[in-house]
Amino acid sequence: MTRLPHYAAMLAMAGALPGDDDRWAYEVKFDGIRAIGYIDDDLRLVSRNDKDITAAWPELVDLAPASPRFVVDGEIVAFTADGRTSFEALQPRMHQRNPAAIRALRRTIPATYLIFDLLHIGDRSLIDLPYQQRRQLLEQLGLRGPHWQVPPRLDGAGADILAESKRLGLEGILCKRSDSPYLPGRRSPLWTKVKNVRDQEVVIVGWRPGTGRRAGSIGSLLMAVNDNTGNLVYIGNVGTGFTQATLTDLQSKLQPLQRNTPTVSADIKDAIWVTPELVGEVTFTEWTGDGRLRHPSWRGLRPDKSPNEVKAPFD
C-alpha cells in the first residue's frame, strides 16, 4: 500500500463576521497547536510548519490502526478546569521529546486532539469536496476517544455565536463557507477567523536584562515582524505575562542565539541581540501610530511557526 499523500494545512484569514449566515458554518476557534493527522497502521502527526510532532503526544497513538486509512486536520489542545482551551498550559509540552518527561507531564497536562476536517479516506482525496460534505463524512467516522473528539458545529446566527463565545471567555470563532474546498497551504477568506482578543505572532530579536526581582534574568523581550518587503521591523518589547519557569526556559533557548549586532533598526542601549529564530505570540490592546504594540502580554512560544511567516496585519 502506498503512503498517504502529504497535505499542508489550510489557513484562515482574520476578518469580520459574514453577512449571510445561510452560506456559512461556525466553529469555536481553539487555542492550541495545529496538526494534520495521518492514520494508517500507525499515527503520524505533522505540524503546520511540516515537522513530525508525533512523539510529543503519545496519548493520541491509539487513533491507529485504521481501516480505511484517513487524513484529518485538527488542533491539539489542553483544557483548563473551566473547560476552556489554554495555549499557555501546552507550553511545557510543546518542545518536550524526552519520553520520561512526557509521561510525567501527561498526568498534569493531558492533551486532546480536536478534529475538525477530513482530507482523505482510503485511496481518495476529499479536498475538492465542499466543507459541508467533508464534515458529514468526518462525523460518520465516529472519532471519539479518551484524547480525541470531533467538536460540534455551532448552530445559529454568527453574531449570536460570537457574542456567546465572548461571554464564555473564548478566543473567538471560525467561519467556514459551506461550499468551500480544502485549499492545502493557502490562506483563504473562505475560512474567516473572528476573534474576541487581539493577538500577534512576533519574532524575538533580543532581550533587555531585568532589574529588581528579575536581576540576572530577562526583563523584556524585543519583538519584530516582517514588513511587506521581507525585512524585520521592530515593534516594541514585552515584559509581562511571564512565569519564572518561562523566563528560565526562554533564557536557555536565547543564550546560544546571541549576536553582537541587531537585525532591526532600534536604538536600545542595553539590548542583548539574538539571531531571529524563535517565534512567540502576544496579546495586545492596539497598534500605535508609530507601529508599536500597546500593552503587549506574553502568551508563549510558537514552534509551529517560522520567522518568515510573521507579518504585521496591516502590510
Cell 464534515 sits on residue: 135
Cβ count within 10 A of residue 61: 13
- Rounded Cα–Cα distance for residues 282 and 293 (Å): 9
Q: Which of 29, 166, 176, 269 is catalytic?
A: 29
The grid coordinates of residue 87 equal 495555549
Match 518536550 to its residue by C-alpha cell: 96
What 3-state DSSP class applies to 56? helix
Is 269 an active-site residue?
A: no
Angle between helices 99-108 and 87-94 (to 10 degrees): 160
Query: What are the grid coordinates assigned to 93, written together?
Result: 509540552
Distance CA(44)–CA(9), nearest Å, equals: 15
Residue 294 CA to residue 236 CA, distance in Å, equals: 8
Q: Which residues contact 115 (CB under 8 A, 6 or more apart)?
A: 37, 72, 73, 74, 138, 143, 148, 149, 150, 151
Q: Which residues are catalytic?
A: 29
